[in-house]
Structure 1
Amino acid sequence: MVKSEKFHMSTEQFREEGKKIIDWIADYYEQIENYSVMSQSKPGELLNKLPKAAPANGEPFDEIIRDLDEKIMPGITHWQSPNFFAYFNANTSFPSILGDLVSSGLGVQGMLWATSPAATELEIRVLDWLAEMMQMPAQFKSTSTGGGVIQDTASTAALTAIIAARERATNFASNINGLEEKLVAYVSTQTHSSVEKGIKIAGIGKHNLRLIDVDKNFAMQAHLLHQQIKEDKANGLVPFFVCGSIGTTSSTAVDPLPEIGQICKKEKCWFHVDAASFGTAMLCPEFRHLANGVKLADSYSFNPHKWMFTNFDCNVFWVANRQELINTFSILPEYLRNKATETGEVFDYRDWHIQLGRRFRSLKLWFVIRHYGIEGLQQLIREHVRLAREFEKWVDESDDFEVVVKPAMNLVCFKHKAGDAFNMLLMNTINDSGKIYFTHTKLNDQLVLRMNFGQTHMEEKHVKNAWELILSTAKMLSAK
């Protein structure tokens, strides 16, 4: 007989090594600005350092930590650096890390209410809190016809909405009779690529995805949407899904949700709203006008892991009618049957999304909300928006740079007047220096630089240093 204690880490060892890891994380945050923001690793560099075979026998924990420092850290791009201005943030905070640690420690698999009632009921309450904190429509609360569920990402939320919309459009028969080729979905040319991916995965096909042109502010033109829907119906097709955005990826454009929502209501299309990054700003009353029209939505999604200081992954997905999700995703094999489920008095979140298994994600969100409070979260969001306005002002005052799109929130799209090649060279030169990290996009076929201001520990000094670096590098490159 093998004694298992020979292989397992004891609680005393766990206590000792766990304290070391907490210290390691704390040290990392104290030193984070000393790292090159973007990893300087070359392709295959880490692979060449790692042994090709796993160890036959367990190794001392100190050796693992040493390899973490020497081998893993050089290949890390530091998303939590206050000098990270790229993409949209994937933020975290110490309360969130601790909440995630508790979740990992408990090791809950919360697929059913019965498998851990607290995992389900905390999620219900926290998402109702958020709905109230953001003044979301009443139907998104658990006390009404809908409710919220935590998904991993906005991509999965979009796919979930697409599948539920598909089932509603086919009277929940597509998995019985097969999927008709006639279903058609609609997005703007600026909608996140995850929706196209979801359309492909759901079997609708890219050929049945319509890209609606945008206006000068890169927002969907509602009249063109309606025109396209009418044309498709005249051709015997079945419009079934429309995605509107509160903050597109390239430019943070906000689609005309009231107009789109009315069209969807008239034409019987599922209306999904993607507010992946901007959703957090709805904590502040002065920004809630961006969500006008959300009351017409069938589903709404935003990522606390982007701008609400909750570590990846954590997506909030609200629906107006939870029964449509349950009718779409519920399968009850014998081994999942239990008394609580059969009473119908509980939420079984496995019926609200694609996967069966679920982590206890609501713990980290609960920790964050309780640590910062509503006012603390609001003040941090407002400060990030203020810093974006400051950066925008500096760009406007510059002779060599210009703002491309009027910022709606905390992203500034700008460019050097010297043209696309110069802007790409400028960005790559700065990113390669490791001092800051930012990214680009294309708008109207022009290369545009993007600076996102939402990192947890970012301060005004970091924004000033970034602007000075951009100016000095541009001057240096112009002189060559």
Structure 2
Amino acid sequence: MTENKRIAADTLGMEAAEMRRLGYKLVDMVVERHLHRNHEPAIQIGQPQDLLAALGGELPEYPLDADESLELLAQVALAHQQHGDHPRYFARVPGPGSFAALLGEWLGVGFNTIAASWGGGSGPATLETVVTGWLAQLLRLPTHTEGVILSGGSIANLNAFMVARHETGTGVAYLTDQTHASLKRNLQHMGLPDSHIRILPSDADYRMDMHTLRAAIAGDRQAGLMPMMVVASAGTTNTGAVDPLVEIAALCREQGLWFHVDGAYGAPAALTAQGQRYLAGMELADSLVLDPHKWLFQPYDAGVCLITRPSALERCFAMYPEYLRDAQGQAQQVVNFGNRSLELTRRSRAVKLWMSLRTYGVARFREAIQYGIELAELAEKVLHEQPDVWEVVTPAQIGIICFALRHAEPGEHARRAQTLADSGFACLTSTQLRGREVLRLCTLNPLTTETDIRETLARLAAYPLPARIV
């Protein structure tokens, strides 16, 4: 290439003053949104043609105005979504990200951080080692526990399942009808046939039934099959129920099975004394998954896979091609996180966790989690105050409660939940419990107030609602 044809070195950059101006503007936009997010709709869903008209158009050949693009992102693209950090977003499992975590995320992205190998990112690798170690300590797991941070619970559970199969050999996995739906899908795409995936009926409290589990394992052995793993829930998505973890752990030891715990939403409750009672036995797991973007108040995304068998992650995933030799590092204590999952190129999700744990300290996390537990208990109290209107179907359990209108018509719960969501005031979901439609509140956000709980329930009871209320 001739000298006069060479592209300028920073053709995709900006002048320093412009970078600062746009960067400060972006910070102001985010801070303003954090300060006033309780005034935006809890969820907003747009029409495809409207969103495409505002955000699409011809592929830009030449520069467009950056300020206009930022405004379009904030006011159109990012406004039309579920706002999991809204104090009245009670659907699914909220993600109330903290600001200190956001600072860490920004810095990691701004430094183009990579966390694949020691040679390519020894600092980020150290952060991930520290953070996964801290999480293992908080959850009272063995000191030799090792981990990796992935995108969320679905992928983290799949990671653990692949390690379990590698360590024990393939065989039958045991779940319940309350296990998160993604876990069955993980097992199927991992190669287990449906005949090796046991979906067992839960007990009256929507927990794993030990008699049913024992019978299923015995039946499979008698049929010549090899039991491989029991998948327990430390807080089911439907009701917040916790399987009998101590009993399952003992059975797995007795039978030589891998004991996996899906604590994607519920595991952080173990930071509190009340949560420890709910989650007793979780520390006995061979593998444990949790999502910090839920009850550890991180912005999306982060899912942690913790394995209590030393070096099992590397035994399952490690590879040593010649072109990565220089990046692997020589010291024995070096960790190459690209050898702990199927991800090779991976950003550092540990930066935000490290930043927020240092900024707030565990005590403030513990206080916030306990408050979420108490909010669900408050909702149960409010529902009991109107026994002629509401029935509590499952009690408050680590931040989740399910309830129903008395004498509701078919589909009425879903209609009321949708009307409330369309109003913008609050968002919650309906679900099915043994064929019965119920409403469900998940109360993880420390910004939620008693008034938010009471007003949300009052508006649900007062259906039909006006077309839009905020």
The TM-score range, normalised by the shorter chain, is over 0.9
- With over 3 angstroms needed to count, the CA separation of the structure-2 counterparts of 1:345 and 1:131, relative to structure 1, is closer
| Residue 42 (structure 1) aligned with residue 47 (structure 2) | yes
Supply the distance in 1 between the matched residues of 2:153 and 2:287 (Cα, whole angstroms). Answer: 12
Supply the distance in 1 between the matched residues of 2:164 and 2:74 (Cα, whole angstroms). Answer: 47
The aligned counterpart of 1:89 is: 94
Supply the distance in 2 between the matched residues of 1:400 and 1:359 (Cα, whole angstroms). Answer: 49
The aligned counterpart of 1:264 is: 252
Superposition map of 1:117-196 within 5 A: 117-134=122-139, 136-138=140-142, 141=143, 144=144, 146-170=145-169, 183-196=171-184
- With over 3 angstroms needed to count, the CA separation of the structure-2 counterparts of 1:462 and 1:208, relative to structure 1, is same
| Residue 17 (structure 1) aligned with residue 22 (structure 2) | yes
The aligned counterpart of 1:411 is: 400
| Residue 390 (structure 1) aligned with residue 389 (structure 2) | no
Q: Secondary structure at the match of 1:190?
A: coil
Identify unmatched segments of 5+ residues in structure 1. 171-179
Match of 1:8 among 9, 13, 33: 13
**What one-letter code is carried by the residue in structure 1 that aligns with 2:233?**
S
- Mean CA deviation greater in 414-423 or 340-349: 340-349
Q: CA deviation at 1:122?
A: 1.6
TM-score under structure 1 length normalisation: 0.91
Could you list the per-position Cα deviations for residues 9-63 of structure 1 after superposition, in whole angstroms to 9, with x for gaps in the alignment?
Answer: 2333222111000101112223323322221412443123333432001222112
Match of 1:472 among 449, 462, 470: 462
Q: Is the CA contact 1:92–1:456 (under 8 Å) kept in the aligned structure 2?
A: no
Could you list the per-position Cα deviations for residues 125-165 of structure 1 after superposition, in whole angstroms to 9, with x for gaps in the alignment?
Answer: 2222233233x132xx3xx2x32221221111111111112
- Mean CA deviation greater in 280-289 or 193-202: 280-289
**What one-letter code is carried by the residue in structure 1 that aligns with 2:450?**
E
- With over 3 angstroms needed to count, the CA separation of the structure-2 counterparts of 1:342 and 1:166, relative to structure 1, is same
Could you list the per-position Cα deviations for residues 194-217 of structure 1 after superposition, in whole angstroms to 9, with x for gaps in the alignment?
Answer: 111111111112332101111110
**What one-letter code is carried by the residue in structure 2 that aligns with 1:8?**
G
Q: CA deviation at 1:368?
A: 1.2
**What one-letter code is carried by the residue in structure 2 that aligns with 1:161?**
A
**What one-letter code is carried by the residue in structure 2 that aligns with 1:395?**
L
- With over 3 angstroms needed to count, the CA separation of the structure-2 counterparts of 1:436 and 1:339, relative to structure 1, is closer
| Residue 337 (structure 1) aligned with residue 325 (structure 2) | yes
Q: Is the CA contact 1:325–1:352 (under 8 Å) kept in the aligned structure 2?
A: yes
Supply the distance in 1 between the matched residues of 2:323 and 2:109 (Cα, whole angstroms). Answer: 25
Q: Is the CA contact 1:83–1:435 (under 8 Å) kept in the aligned structure 2?
A: yes
Q: Secondary structure at the match of 1:4?
A: coil
Could you list the per-position Cα deviations for residues 432-459 of structure 1 after superposition, in whole angstroms to 9, with x for gaps in the alignment?
Answer: 2111110011002100101111124222
Q: CA deviation at 1:79?
A: 2.0
Supply the distance in 2 between the matched residues of 1:474 and 1:372 (Cα, whole angstroms). Answer: 42
Q: CA deviation at 1:78?
A: 2.1
Q: Secondary structure at the match of 1:272?
A: strand
The aligned counterpart of 2:205 is: 217
The aligned counterpart of 2:188 is: 200
Q: CA deviation at 1:475?
A: 9.4
Supply the distance in 2 between the matched residues of 1:151 and 1:73 (Cα, whole angstroms). Answer: 23
- Mean CA deviation greater in 313-322 or 297-306: 313-322
Q: CA deviation at 1:74?
A: 4.7
Supply the distance in 2 between the matched residues of 1:44 and 1:240 (Cα, whole angstroms). Answer: 49
Q: Secondary structure at the match of 2:218?
A: helix
| Residue 327 (structure 1) aligned with residue 327 (structure 2) | no
Q: Secondary structure at the match of 1:464?
A: helix
Supply the distance in 1 between the matched residues of 2:130 and 2:74 (Cα, whole angstroms). Answer: 40
Q: Secondary structure at the match of 1:458?
A: coil
**What one-letter code is carried by the residue in structure 2 that aligns with 1:325?**
L
- Mean CA deviation greater in 306-315 or 460-469: 460-469
Higher helix share: 1
**What one-letter code is carried by the residue in structure 1 that aligns with 2:68?**
E
Q: CA deviation at 1:340?
A: 5.6
**What one-letter code is carried by the residue in structure 2 that aligns with 1:126?**
V
**What one-letter code is carried by the residue in structure 1 that aligns with 2:278?**
L
**What one-letter code is carried by the residue in structure 2 that aligns with 1:467?**
L
Q: CA deviation at 1:291?
A: 2.5
Supply the distance in 1 between the matched residues of 2:465 and 2:164 (Cα, whole angstroms). Answer: 52
- Mean CA deviation greater in 203-212 or 188-197: 203-212
- With over 3 angstroms needed to count, the CA separation of the structure-2 counterparts of 1:238 and 1:447, relative to structure 1, is same
- With over 3 angstroms needed to count, the CA separation of the structure-2 counterparts of 1:425 and 1:73, relative to structure 1, is same
- Mean CA deviation greater in 90-99 or 58-67: 58-67
Q: Is the CA contact 1:80–1:456 (under 8 Å) kept in the aligned structure 2?
A: no
Supply the distance in 2 between the matched residues of 1:325 and 1:74 (Cα, whole angstroms). Answer: 39
Q: Is the CA contact 2:105–2:349 (under 8 Å) kept in the aligned structure 1?
A: yes
Match of 2:114 among 109, 114, 126: 109
- With over 3 angstroms needed to count, the CA separation of the structure-2 counterparts of 1:53 and 1:290, relative to structure 1, is same
**What one-letter code is carried by the residue in structure 2 that aligns with 1:189?**
D
Q: CA RMSD in A?
A: 2.0
- With over 3 angstroms needed to count, the CA separation of the structure-2 counterparts of 1:104 and 1:36, relative to structure 1, is same
| Residue 453 (structure 1) aligned with residue 452 (structure 2) | no
Q: Is the CA contact 1:93–1:456 (under 8 Å) kept in the aligned structure 2?
A: no
- With over 3 angstroms needed to count, the CA separation of the structure-2 counterparts of 1:294 and 1:389, relative to structure 1, is closer
Supply the distance in 2 between the matched residues of 1:400 and 1:356 (Cα, whole angstroms). Answer: 54
Q: Secondary structure at the match of 1:266?
A: helix
**What one-letter code is carried by the residue in structure 1 that aligns with 2:159?**
T
The aligned counterpart of 2:3 is: none
Match of 1:351 among 309, 318, 339: 339
Could you list the per-position Cα deviations for residues 343-391 of structure 1 after superposition, in whole angstroms to 9, with x for gaps in the alignment?
Answer: 4331111111121122111110111111221221111122222222111
- Mean CA deviation greater in 187-196 or 330-339: 330-339
| Residue 369 (structure 1) aligned with residue 374 (structure 2) | no
| Residue 233 (structure 1) aligned with residue 221 (structure 2) | yes
| Residue 250 (structure 1) aligned with residue 238 (structure 2) | yes
Supply the distance in 2 between the matched residues of 1:71 and 1:320 (Cα, whole angstroms). Answer: 45
The aligned counterpart of 2:452 is: 462
Q: CA deviation at 1:250?
A: 0.7
Supply the distance in 2 between the matched residues of 1:397 and 1:381 (Cα, whole angstroms). Answer: 25
Could you list the per-position Cα deviations for residues 65-121 of structure 1 after superposition, in whole angstroms to 9, with x for gaps in the alignment?
Answer: 232245324523322211211111122011111110011011121111221211111
- Mean CA deviation greater in 375-384 or 437-446: 375-384
The aligned counterpart of 1:174 is: none
Supply the distance in 1 between the matched residues of 2:155 and 2:75 (Cα, whole angstroms). Answer: 35
Q: Is the CA contact 1:192–1:249 (under 8 Å) kept in the aligned structure 2?
A: yes
Match of 2:424 among 434, 437, 445: 434
Supply the distance in 1 between the matched residues of 2:167 and 2:147 (Cα, whole angstroms). Answer: 19
**What one-letter code is carried by the residue in structure 1 that aligns with 2:7?**
V
